[in-house]
Structure 1
Amino acid sequence: MTPLDKPLRREVLIGDESYTLTVDPEGLKLVRKGHRKGLDLRWEALVNGDAALATALQASLETP
């Protein structure tokens, strides 16, 4: 297998919006194209089963 030692970025089209998905050694980040803030998911949260809780908490902290 190839180790994940640097960020891997891909463009994803969700509905009519373009997003950038970054996969790196710390986790995943999904950001709407042209923006800086997005959804962060750490590998530890995913493995521990805290992913849903972490995502909900992050969404509740974002300003509309």
Structure 2
Amino acid sequence: MTPLDKPLRREVQIGDETYTLTLDPEGLKLVLKGHRKGVDLRWADLVNGDAALAKALQASLAAP
């Protein structure tokens, strides 16, 4: 198996929008193509079951 030691970027089409998915040793990030801000999810949060909590916290911090 190949270790994930540097960022791996792929484009993904979701509906009519194109996103960039970046996988790195810390986690994953999904960003609308051409933008900088997106959704971050750390691997530790995912395996600990804290992914939903982390997502809710990010959403609350991004709210105006």
Q: Give TM-score, length-normalised by structure 2.
A: 0.93
1:2-61, Cα deviation, whole Å (9 max, x unpaired) = 100110000011111110000000000000001000000001100110001101111121
Q: Which residue of 2 aligns with 1:24?
A: 24
How far, CA to CA, are the matches of 1:15 and 1:62 in structure 2? 23
Q: Which residue of 2 aligns with 1:60?
A: 60
User: Residue 46 of structure 2: SS of its match in structure 1?
Assistant: helix
Q: Which residue of 1 aligns with 2:4?
A: 4
Task: Give the ranges of 4+ consecutive aligned residues of structure 1 lying more than 3 Å apart after TM superposition.
Answer: none
> CA RMSD for the aligned pairs?
1.0
Using the TM superposition, give the Cα deviation of residue 63 of structure 1 relative to its aligned residue in structure 2, in angstroms: 3.8
* Alpha-carbon distance change, 41 to 11 in structure 1, aligned in 2, over 3 angstroms: same
Is 2:10 the partner of 1:14?
no
How far, CA to CA, are the matches of 1:16 and 1:63 in structure 2? 24
**Structure 2: tracts of 5 or more residues without a match:** none
